[in-house]
Chain A
Amino acid sequence: MTMVTEKDINEQIAWAKINTDVLKSMENPRPAYWVTLAVCIAMVACAVVAEYIQYTVGMGTANLNNPHMWDMYIAAFVFWIGMSHSGTLLSAILHLIHADWRKPIYRFAEAMTTFSLMTAGIFPMIHLGRVWNLYWVLPYVSDRGIWPNFRSPLVWDAFAITTYLTASMLFLFVGMIPDLAICRDNTTGWRKKLYTILSLGWVGSDKQWRNFRKIYLLMACFLIPLAVSVHSIVSADFAMSIMPGWHITTFPPYFVAGALYSGCAAIITLFILLRYFFRFEDYMTLPIMEKTAKLTFAIAMVWTYLNLIEFASVWYGHDIYNKELLIAKATGAYAWIFWTMLFCGSVLPFALAFRKLRRHMPTMFVVSLFLNLGMFFERWMIVAPTLSMSQEPHQWDIMYGSIVEWAIVFGSFGWFGMLFLIFVKVFPSVSMYEVKEMVFHRKRSLGEEDLVRMTDHAKPATQTTGREGT
């Protein structure tokens, strides 16, 4: 019996159709796109009102006090930083290992990276209270007497996130240049002006392609250690302290695995949304969804393993504070969050092991949302229980966020969604030139010589002078 492998993409798809489909997506999405965008804007509006209240009344409106000086804002910050690892995984890592199935979906994953970092970057400002003193974190040489503490991971965060944000934006932009040239050549009005500027005069010459290949590779090589360093540094915000539940050696890999996990789950969510909004069934295909789901499952198992390792080392380590905290996590006030986290993060991913479920879009959509709910709870469980049960029992206190805090965190999802939806409407969310490459090379690997022809031109040679239309 021979097994027929389903193709990631139809190799017979014409290059002109790839251009047309992607360019059309930027003009004509389904109505659900506009509804989602409106919901996101409404969520941002709620957050703005909440932030105004917090700004004018004070941080107490967010239920922040001593010892709960961090809580949900920092949990949301870690969550959004984690989400940003999706682009690095799909773009950089899969690029280096030549996994070409990433090509139709890596663009939006890269955009996710940029926008989730922009969302994460807001939280330190919101959390700061005195937002107007934000520039104090900048360690420029001065005699202001501010004394930024270079030994603090919080200062490392500022460096690492700035570097990651700018590098990931450049990575996204560089990867888009050939597509922006396609947009430039096929649009009119304000779009043409915008794409003319952004495409930087790209013509697709062999010199440009050679340099392009090199820069993409170099940036991918830099982005991977950078992403690992960013989340390791974020984990150092906790692990460098001596608080129970935080001072753990496995925190950096645990954070990186969690980041990749939530990023992958978010890719599945947005994959399904974009496929529906822009009618991308030919590009965001079921086999590609299956591969993404399998990747997510594998990372989920790594995350689960790291959780078990952490529990085991705390349990057998007999550090009284850590052990009590672990018991409190499983049986105390936050137990329902703890068990929901474990269910969503470790049990639910087994749904991804079933082919039928992996190919059922509504199920995958719901599963991906629950996976990310689990990952948000994971961040909450890192932050809140330790602050609630530190070494000094007189400080013990249970805390849940106030409506102001919830509204701001809720609004961050709207902010991310709004930026992302505007991006995919203005810029091509499927990489046209890379899909063409994928189709071309796959055709060639079939060994069908005829198929290598990109077009079916049979017309005789004509001679013209100068540029078309001039």
Chain B
Amino acid sequence: MSKKRMMGLFGDFEEAHDAIADIRRNEVPGLTVDDVTMTSPIEHPDVEEVLGDRPVHLQKFTLFGAVFGVTFGFLFLAAAQASFLVQPQGGKPIIPLPSNFVLMYEMLIFFAVWLTFFAFIFLSGLLRKRSALYSEKVSLDQVAIIVEIDESIGESVKGLFEKHKVLEIREEAIR
């Protein structure tokens, strides 16, 4: 059975919220909330809530970056300092921990921030070609609900969107 993507543009969050709530209540057989993507001009936790639990894993990368940063920071500095063996230290340690802590702290933040940024790009699906269903009106003031469905339930989904005062419907076939 062929599949397609359908996008409904809504004038406000309330209607979009209600439409997703109807999908969650299985008002259209064969369509679940997991098939739904919402695009909006602002972040809206209430509407995202009705989409269900979609965990974010960004913080794990941040933690990894922080641990890597502090470890790398120490090794990097210690390696540089160890090559100073030939320099007279006047009784001071070759690898001075207190001052290294300051630099390791900076390295911790440096790598945590950069890794978080790269993870953000990767996890958010950025740097990919935009779908033909993207509407520029979303960056203005409209909310879009995009669903991936079988051709057979297309009319039911359209009916659901229209029930919630959809402003415009667009479709594209999934090859």
Residues on A close to B: CB < 8 A?
Answer: 14-16, 19, 139-143, 147-148, 150-151, 155-156, 159-160, 162-163, 166-167, 170, 174, 178, 181-182, 184-186, 200-215, 218-219, 222, 225-226, 229, 233, 433, 436-437, 440, 452-457, 459, 461-468, 470
Chain B residues with CB under 8 A of A205: 37-39, 125
Chain A residues with CB under 8 A of B87: 147
Query: Is B72 at the interface (CB under 8 A from chain A)?
Result: no
Residue among B113, B114, B129 with the most chain A CB within 10 A?
B113
A185 to B161, CA, bound (A): 25
A215 to B113, CA, bound (A): 9
CB within 8 Å for A166 and B114 given contacts A215-B58, A461-B161: yes
- Whether A174 and B37, one on each chain, are in contact in the complex, defined by CB atoms closer than 8 angstroms, is no
- Whether B127 and A204, one on each chain, are in contact in the complex, defined by CB atoms closer than 8 angstroms, is no
- Whether B169 and A167, one on each chain, are in contact in the complex, defined by CB atoms closer than 8 angstroms, is no
- Whether B124 and A207, one on each chain, are in contact in the complex, defined by CB atoms closer than 8 angstroms, is yes
- Whether B132 and A470, one on each chain, are in contact in the complex, defined by CB atoms closer than 8 angstroms, is yes
Chain A residue at minimum C-beta to C-beta distance from B99: A151
A215 to B119, CA, bound (A): 9
CB within 8 Å for A468 and B113 given contacts A159-B106, A209-B43: no
Chain A residues with CB under 8 A of B84: 147
A453 to B11, CA, bound (A): 7
- Whether B109 and A206, one on each chain, are in contact in the complex, defined by CB atoms closer than 8 angstroms, is no
A207 to B34, CA, bound (A): 12
Query: Is B105 at the interface (CB under 8 A from chain A)?
Result: yes
- Whether A15 and B41, one on each chain, are in contact in the complex, defined by CB atoms closer than 8 angstroms, is yes
CB within 8 Å for A156 and B96 given contacts A212-B43, A212-B124: no
A215 touches which of B41, B117, B130 (Cβ 8 Å)? B117
A167 to B42, CA, bound (A): 24
- Whether A463 and B135, one on each chain, are in contact in the complex, defined by CB atoms closer than 8 angstroms, is no
- Whether B135 and A210, one on each chain, are in contact in the complex, defined by CB atoms closer than 8 angstroms, is no
A170 to B118, CA, bound (A): 11
CB within 8 Å for A454 and B54 given contacts A156-B99, A159-B107, A170-B117: no
Query: Is B21 at the interface (CB under 8 A from chain A)?
Result: no
13 contacts between A and B (CB under 8 A): A16-B140, A16-B141, A150-B77, A174-B117, A204-B138, A204-B139, A209-B43, A209-B44, A219-B116, A452-B12, A455-B11, A456-B11, A459-B167
- Whether A452 and B139, one on each chain, are in contact in the complex, defined by CB atoms closer than 8 angstroms, is no
User: What is the number of contacts between chain A and chain B, taking CB atoms within 8 Å?
Assistant: 211
CB distance from A165 to the nearest CB of B (A): 10
Chain A residues with CB under 8 A of B113: 163, 166-167, 170, 219, 222
Which 10 pairs of residues, A with B, have the shortest CB-CB distance? A15-B141, A209-B43, A457-B11, A185-B136, A200-B126, A211-B124, A163-B110, A159-B106, A182-B139, A215-B120
- Whether B106 and A204, one on each chain, are in contact in the complex, defined by CB atoms closer than 8 angstroms, is no
CB neighbors of A among B77-121 (8 A):
77, 79-81, 83-84, 87, 92, 96, 99-100, 102-103, 105-107, 109-110, 112-114, 116-117, 120-121
CB within 8 Å for A455 and B116 given contacts A202-B126, A210-B48: no
Chain B residues with CB under 8 A of A208: 124-126
- Whether B139 and A206, one on each chain, are in contact in the complex, defined by CB atoms closer than 8 angstroms, is no
- Whether A437 and B42, one on each chain, are in contact in the complex, defined by CB atoms closer than 8 angstroms, is yes
- Whether B168 and A461, one on each chain, are in contact in the complex, defined by CB atoms closer than 8 angstroms, is yes
CB distance from B174 to the nearest CB of A (A): 13
Chain B residues with CB under 8 A of A463: 158, 168-171
Chain B residues with CB under 8 A of A184: 139
Query: Is B128 at the interface (CB under 8 A from chain A)?
Result: yes
CB distance from B87 to the nearest CB of A (A): 6
Say which size band chain B's interface belongs to.
35 or more
A452 to B76, CA, bound (A): 54
- Whether B42 and A440, one on each chain, are in contact in the complex, defined by CB atoms closer than 8 angstroms, is yes
CB distance from B37 to the nearest CB of A (A): 5
- Whether B139 and A218, one on each chain, are in contact in the complex, defined by CB atoms closer than 8 angstroms, is no
CB within 8 Å for A150 and B96 given contacts A206-B54, A210-B48, A218-B62: yes
Chain B residues with CB under 8 A of A181: 139
Query: Is B133 at the interface (CB under 8 A from chain A)?
Result: yes
CB distance from A198 to the nearest CB of B (A): 11
CB distance from A109 to the nearest CB of B (A): 19
Query: Is B64 at the interface (CB under 8 A from chain A)?
Result: no
Chain B residues with CB under 8 A of A156: 99, 102-103, 106
Chain A residues with CB under 8 A of B139: 19, 178, 181-182, 184-186, 204
- Whether B120 and A167, one on each chain, are in contact in the complex, defined by CB atoms closer than 8 angstroms, is no
- Whether B109 and A167, one on each chain, are in contact in the complex, defined by CB atoms closer than 8 angstroms, is yes
CB neighbors of A among B38-57 (8 A):
38-44, 47-48, 51, 54, 56
A15 to B81, CA, bound (A): 57
- Whether B129 and A201, one on each chain, are in contact in the complex, defined by CB atoms closer than 8 angstroms, is yes
A167 touches which of B11, B110, B140 (Cβ 8 Å)? B110
- Whether A464 and B168, one on each chain, are in contact in the complex, defined by CB atoms closer than 8 angstroms, is yes
Chain A residue at minimum C-beta to C-beta distance from B47: A206
CB distance from A446 to the nearest CB of B (A): 15
A454 touches which of B103, B105, B141, B172 (Cβ 8 Å)? B141
Chain B residues with CB under 8 A of A215: 58, 116-117, 120
Chain A residues with CB under 8 A of B106: 156, 159-160, 163, 226, 229
